Amino acid sequence: MKKEHYYPPPSSASTTSGWTAGRRRFADWLPWKLFQDQMNPDKANHGWFIGRYARECLHILPKLPATLKWPVAPTSVLEWHQVDESLREPGIYYGYRPEVSSWTECCHSLFTANNETLNFWTHFFPTVFFIWRTVQLADQWNIKSDGLSSDYAQPFLIYMFSAILYPLMSAIAHGFSALSHRARAVLFFMDYAAINFYAYGSGLLYRAYVLPDSWMQMDANIYLGMCVFLSLASTTLTCTSRAIVRDVVAQRLMRLAAFTLPYIWVSIPLFVRLFDCFRYVEASSSCPTADALRATKLHLCQVIVALLASFCYASHLPERILPGKFDYVGHSHNLLHICGVTATLFQMEGALIDMDVRRSHLIENQLAMMDPFWDQWIPLVVLLGHVLLVAVFGLYIYWNEPQTIPTCNQNKKCH
């Protein structure tokens, strides 16, 4: 049910006429301005849910400790020197879970303070939200009198599936990685596979609705074919980094490369669009209308936040400069999750605007994706490819790794 009182009344500045080229001021670029716009459902046709989501989180958060009884009781947490070297994170001193825990202990640990608690929740809530958003959009398209055709919406739904899958797999991996040494490896293989499947989903989304016309005219096989290759190659690389490589620095570099390369390939045409749009003051071919400009700004925000996510992952800031201060809350992996999900929100909202306003243009000029091969069969093949890779590396772990690494002995005090 729509709650009218929940939102401030629309101001006179909220009409679409305000979105003209003359208003391309610095203030319009600020994320805060964007956030304010999203808070108003009458102004932001597609993006108001970001504001609503943030507002509902703010509403829920103060009640969370009482609701979840967090922390319930001091749970078994260890100091850095009590866990195996492979489990240590730079700058994190305290709050490690024991390597071997039962299912119930893992579930309990989600509601008690340790350094995985927020890693779980920062991806669990977005998973629920993305599911709700997908259902809401599918419902909207069904009831719209001039509804989008299912063929036109298909790439977006595949993308949403990938956007649901990656935080879900990540939440499961962070929540239950303490089951055993082998379980930890396999769960993170699934996490990596889901992230790389999301890279293919993003490529599909861009090809279907976002790319500049000049890139739309090019053969989709090259762009999407490379997306498929990089998606599977990156999962192979990340799984190798965890299953075979022992050097921690090499592992980090391999994972960084594996996540960065698909992102760069998928985003190259988007960078062209951003460059084309923002280098001219007047309307350009990439920003012919106010809506196109607004969508491009959302894509720009996505790029900025994604860069911030990579920076958090690579730098281990802030815990590296203030070790021991961010053991539970605010460490770089928490920030990585928050930035990653925020980037997905910007990407989704920008694509929704493109999808709506470019529809007739893309269909009339035969630029819309007409080949069902790429948005029906290939996603299935890519998904199965990832499942196969996880199975192969999982078997490798099963045959080559012990079930546990001893982390507590007489010389190491366990809490």
Q: Which is nearer to Zn ion, 309 or 367 (CB)?
A: 309
- For the segment 192-221, give every residue that binds Zn ion (CB under 5 A): none
Tell the smallest beta-carbon distance from residue 337 to Zn ion (Å).
6
Q: Which is nearer to Zn ion, 129 or 206 (CB)?
A: 129
- Give the closest residue to 101 by CA, choosing from 180, 154, 19: 180
Tell the smallest beta-carbon distance from residue 260 to Zn ion (Å).
16
Tell the smallest beta-carbon distance from residue 355 to Zn ion (Å).
29
Q: Which is nearer to Zn ion, 154 or 170 (CB)?
A: 170
d(CA 78, CA 96): 5
- For the segment 105-164, give every residue that binds Zn ion (CB under 5 A): none
Tell the smallest beta-carbon distance from residue 312 to Zn ion (Å).
11
d(CA 327, CA 338): 16
Contact yes or no for 207/155 (Cβ under 8 A): yes
Q: Which residue's CB comes closest to Zn ion?
A: 170
Contact yes or no for 227/262 (Cβ under 8 A): yes
- For the segment 321-340, give every residue that binds Zn ion (CB under 5 A): none
Contact yes or no for 195/244 (Cβ under 8 A): no
**Which range of residues in 26-34, 101-109, 124-132, 169-177 is near Zn ion by CB under 5 A?**
169-177
Residue holding tokens 């590396």?
A: 393
Residue 94, classified by CB atoms within 10 Å of its CB into exposed (0-12), middle (13-18) or buried (19+), is middle
Tell the smallest beta-carbon distance from residue 118 to Zn ion (Å).
10
**Which range of residues in 53-61, 125-133, 167-175, 218-226 is near Zn ion by CB under 5 A?**
167-175
Tell the smallest beta-carbon distance from residue 351 to Zn ion (Å).
24
**Token pair recorded at residue 258:** 């594996």
Q: Which is nearer to Zn ion, 174 or 207 (CB)?
A: 174
- Give the closest residue to 278 by CA, choosing from 28, 33, 37: 28
Angle, to 10 degrees, between the axis of helix 150-176 and the axis of helix 181-205?
A: 160
Q: Which is nearer to Zn ion, 109 or 170 (CB)?
A: 170
Q: Which is nearer to Zn ion, 40 or 177 (CB)?
A: 177
Where does residue 71 fall: left (phi above 0), alpha (psi -120 to 50 degrees), or beta otherwise? beta
Q: Tell me phi and psi for residue 14, to 5 degrees.
A: -90, 5
Q: Which is nearer to Zn ion, 290 or 390 (CB)?
A: 390
Q: Which is nearer to Zn ion, 170 or 180 (CB)?
A: 170
DSSP assignment letter at 28: H
- For the segment 240-279, give every residue that binds Zn ion (CB under 5 A): none
**Residue 314 identity:** A
**Which range of residues in 128-136, 170-178, 208-216, 281-289 is near Zn ion by CB under 5 A?**
170-178
**Which range of residues in 49-57, 165-173, 215-223, 382-390 is near Zn ion by CB under 5 A?**
165-173
Assign 338 to helix, strand or coil: helix
Helix, strand and coil content of the chain, in percent to the nearest 5, comes to: 70, 0, 30
d(CA 273, CA 284): 10
- Give the closest residue to 304 by CA, choosing from 283, 266, 274, 330: 274
Tell the smallest beta-carbon distance from residue 119 to Zn ion (Å).
5
Tell the smallest beta-carbon distance from residue 163 to Zn ion (Å).
15
Tell the smallest beta-carbon distance from residue 123 to Zn ion (Å).
7
Q: Which is nearer to Zn ion, 170 or 236 (CB)?
A: 170
Tell me the number of residues near Zn ion by CB under 5 A: 1
Q: What is the binding site for Zn ion (CB under 5 A)?
A: 170
